[in-house]
Homo-oligomer: A and B are copies of this chain.
């Protein structure tokens, strides 16, 4: 997709200095630009780059005064960083809008309906009794089972698999090869050493504005629902077990895992590769550091935790510093012991 500088300036309510007919087909950091790119300069720390950038256009703040000649066309706006973000969003929106209609072959079951402006890619599968909202994009090679609801403007990326009875809100983004609603890992041990699968009859409910990364798995509840609240952002390769509930606006980084029936509060930050045991409750605003293992409920809000088992971040750091110094501590211990022997000897003199 291409824009002229003058179209962009109009979009951003900006003023052009330079050639307004140049066409832009990409965005780049100011130091990595090339012809056809647009960049921005918001922080004066990077000002030197604007005099040498290969980008065709640069968005700058209205108070920017060049100290040398600049080859690029400039677009003056109130806030260069915000304007750049708006531009990127607009670009994404237009690209997204290009996808609509139904590619063939694709499959849709009885009593399933799709809203207006939807895209259904080739080799996508929708089961029975599904209600797909307006402007929903369903990419190729996806599987959407039976009795599923997907709210307006949500995007189901290629290869996503969604099991029966899942409910997905509006404006959600589910990235490629995610699995939503597979069976919880529940088995009853039998007397002969075998395990019997406990039927998993619940579902997954994903509220509005949720983002779920590639290859992440969210299991259905045994009974009731596994719930991902509004605004939650989940990275790639994350495991969310059965009957978990993740509170509003909580962020979970890649490869973290949350065990069954645990409830995570709102506005929490769970870093990469964290493990959280089952059947606990984690208070709002809790931060859990990378690779930590959280083994018990956190009742106080706003704590920063780290380590495996996880505890107060500062205490953990203090202990870790001493673990590093253990060889030295042992030397000191030996020193005291040999000293004692000497002194015992002296006393016996």
Contacts and interface: CB of A to CB of B under 8 A. Distances in A.
Contact of A159 (B91, B92, B161): B161
A217 B254 CA distance: 10
B217 A85 contact: no
Interface residues of A, number: 101
B125 A125 contact: no
Contact of A251 (B28, B145, B195, B236): B195
Interface string A263-305: 0001100001101010000000000001101000000000000
Contacts of A236: 179, 182, 185, 217, 219, 239
A26 interface: yes
A329 B333 contact: yes
Nearest to A317: B309
Contacts of A254: 185, 217, 239, 241, 257, 259
Interface string A151-165: 000000111010100
A135 interface: no
Given A161-B141, A185-B233, A339-B340, A199 B89 contact: yes
A343 interface: yes
B329 A324 contact: no
Contacts of A233: 185, 187, 195
Given A179-B176, A340-B336, A237 B217 contact: yes
16 contacts: A32-B224, A88-B198, A92-B199, A92-B201, A105-B122, A125-B141, A173-B183, A175-B183, A182-B213, A185-B254, A273-B293, A291-B293, A309-B320, A315-B327, A329-B329, A343-B347
Interchain residue pairs A-B with the least CB separation, the first 5: A88-B199, A143-B158, A322-B326, A179-B214, A161-B176
